[in-house]
Structure 1
Amino acid sequence: MKFTYLHRLLFFSFLFFLVSCGDESIPKPNCQLSLEYPDATYDRLASKCNFEFDVNTLSKVSVKDDCALEVNYPKMKATLYLTYKPVNNNIEKLLRDAQKLTYEHVIKADDILEQPFINADNKVYGMFYEVGGNAATNVQFYVTDSTKNFVTGSLYFYAKPNFDSILPAADYIKTDVRKIIETMKWK
């Protein structure tokens, strides 16, 4: 029996369908990363600086000579930078600079929420800024006694700003920042 062109075509078609049949590939659904952090415990940070506050024991604090502090969160790849400046009849300039620093992020930010803070007993007055969206920083603040001391703080992550990805870590550290502000005392 001679194989004709039609026979060969049918044979290869049958072979092709036989080999190509198999499990259909189904795309996997997008998964969400679940980040959970332990409950925070706080210790008093005592330094030579004109202020002290409670800090999360999971963080690592380094104090510079000019009372600039870095509160590092290694597991979250984030650092809270604190800067101290003495007030010498320049409170308006210090306040303006702190607000300007925050509002420089308005280009990338979806919104900026301001939350004033007043602790008259300890003479601590300030503002907490929550920056929403893909800005370089998600949290900024300043506190002062308005006569001698002024401290600013900014939180930065060591990753491309993607608000959805860093949200759990940012929320965790926001709680720590609020604790710093609430427990701030001047020496």
Structure 2
Amino acid sequence: MKTKYFLLIIGLVAFMQACHEDSYYPKPSALYRMPLPEHEYVAVADTMPYQFEISKYAIIKPDTSWIAEAHWVHIFYPDFVADVQLTYKAVHSQQELQRFVNESYKLTAKQQIKATAINEGKYTTPNGHVVSFAAIEGEVPTQFQFFTTDSTKHFLRGALYFRTSVANDSLAPVIKYVTEDITHMMNTLEWKK
């Protein structure tokens, strides 16, 4: 009988201890949260056929790949391991411009294999440039693509990449942050004559 009471008292003490505020509770699994700084922008060096402002947290690096052409650059975000690859083409004819536009749409269409959605659209910047873009959802290598042209001399295409194995749903706040920077970049774009 004494053993029953002893076990009952031990059980009550353990129960009361479990109800105490400092008890351990397993944390639910969560997505990685990266702190995002306020948007701040700086003008890029005046060495390209285009001029715009980029995030002060990004670095412009030349494209050194074997297929790179003049004025191809990477806008790299070291803290996010994000990269906006920009490819510039001088336009010499309307046929050439149409080829650049078609190639841009084909590169976006290649994402359909893994994409859960591709949301395409256009907007006009304060400087009067029309920007075509595609926001791509799913586990895809590039989450945002865009291009713009003056229709006579210049064509600029960009794509956002993350050099990380983190799932895109976890990167959603960073993708939104960088696409806001891309929008600012396009809104401040000026072509050189």
- Verify the 8 A CA contact 1:112 1:129 in the aligned structure 2: yes
Indicate which of 162, 178, 181 corresponds to 1:157: 162
Determine the structure 2 residue equivalent to 1:34.
33
Q: Specify whether residues 152 and 56 from structure 1 end up closer, same or farther in structure 2 by C-alpha distance, changes over 3 A only.
A: same
- Verify the 8 A CA contact 1:141 1:152 in the aligned structure 2: yes
1:106 matched to 2:125? The reply is no
Q: Provide structure 1 residue ranges, at least 5 long, that are not aligned to the other structure.
A: 1-22
The TM-score with structure 2 as length reference comes to: 0.78
Give the share of equivalent positions with the same residue, in percent.
29
- The count of aligned residue pairs is 165
Determine the structure 2 residue equivalent to 1:17.
none
Determine the structure 1 residue equivalent to 2:76.
72
- Verify the 8 A CA contact 2:127 2:187 in the aligned structure 1: no
Indicate which of 167, 171, 186 corresponds to 2:172: 167
Determine the structure 1 residue equivalent to 2:9.
none
- Verify the 8 A CA contact 2:127 2:188 in the aligned structure 1: no
The TM-score with structure 1 as length reference comes to: 0.80
Q: Provide structure 2 residue ranges, at least 5 long, that are not aligned to the other structure.
A: 1-16, 19-23, 64-68
- Structure 1 residues 1-187: aligned runs within 5 Å: 28-63=27-62, 66-89=70-93, 90-119=96-125, 122-160=127-165, 162-187=167-192
Return the offset for 1:31. Answer: 3.0
155-164 or 107-116, larger mean C-alpha shift: 155-164
Q: Specify whether residues 32 and 48 from structure 1 end up closer, same or farther in structure 2 by C-alpha distance, changes over 3 A only.
A: closer
Structure 2 distance, partners of 1:106, 1:31, is 28
33-42 or 140-149, larger mean C-alpha shift: 33-42
Give the AA of the match of 1:71.
I
Q: Which has the larger radius of gyration?
A: 1
Return the offset for 1:52. Answer: 0.4
Structure 1 distance, partners of 2:114, 2:104, is 18
- Verify the 8 A CA contact 2:31 2:170 in the aligned structure 1: no
